[in-house]
Amino acid sequence: MAAIKHIFNELHYEMTRTIAEGGMGVVYEAVQRGAGGFTKTVAVKLIREEYSTIPEFQKNFIGEARLVANLIHTNIVQTYHLGQIGGQYFMVMEYVQGVNLEQFLERHAALGRLMPVDIAAFIVSRIARGLTYAHQKRDTEGRLLGIVHRDIGPKNVMIATEGDVKLTDFGIAKALDLMYNEEGKVIAGKDEYLSPEQASYAVTDARADLFPLGIVLSELLLGRNIFRDADRLVSRKNILTLPIPQFASLRPEINPKLEAILQKAFQRDRDKRYACAYDMLNDLELYLYSDGYGPTNEKLGVYLKEIMGVAPAQSSQTS
């Protein structure tokens, strides 16, 4: 990291620690410095040196940066800058002080607790809100970008200490004219969070993000992913064939309104699934707020601090 620090110091970024490491990249926490004592904490995502010279990885990394540059929404982690130094590409992104949803789930498991039903539904409603924005995004010529995230899962959702929920990592997303993808030849995404379309090598549209969003909701409610198996192929087969349970039989606090949302999100025939993220968002908000006061960012922030013990001292943004 010493060499990285030296290089980025020249760009006025002081690298303070490694946040996360993945197969293709590394994410660092950094302090951006400017005139007059200006400082701003940011996250810097760096493509690994061994991948920087491979055209496919370059194209994916640049494509992700171009795609998310204009996705400016409170429920999406923002990207500020794409650069290249020493032959390596990097992105400067919004730094989220908090934890990712996977860590939040792990903490509940460690405490032997299930997440409150309203908190689970609220988190997923905020993800749906971010997806609604991304799915509806158009370019400067008014063309629908056709964004499909294709990697919806707990690791790619951040919860800030203040309770903001933010979707991140559009690294394998597809969109009009922007992203490299080989649908029909390869499977993009994690086996236990695929849509049936992804698991069967079919071409996807925005509805492919809503089945895994249902998986995330059910996992928050039950404390487990019903499709997950130690064998990746079995996980994928489960996505395609495992009978979808009545979730209220597994957790009685799930009322008929929430059960209906889960069942609709889990329709394997995408023509019977939610037509768009907005429709799922609308149903979740009707469930949460139709009887009056419901959860807010502030309530989630208080609950996060309660569960994690103290306000999380570090971000865990994905790579």
Q: Which residues are catalytic?
A: 151
Helices (H), the chain: 2-9, 49-52, 55-68, 101-111, 117-136, 196-199, 210-222, 232-241, 256-265, 277-289, 297-308
Phi, psi of 51 (to 5 degrees): -100, -15
User: What is the Cα–Cα distance from 201 to 185, expressed in whole angstroms?
Assistant: 7
Please report, as a single letter, which amino acid is at residue 202.
A
Residue 142, classed as helix, strand or coil, is: coil
Nearest to 95 by CA among 59, 149, 45, 52: 45
* Residue 277 and residue 283 in contact, taking contact as beta carbons nearer than 8 Å: no
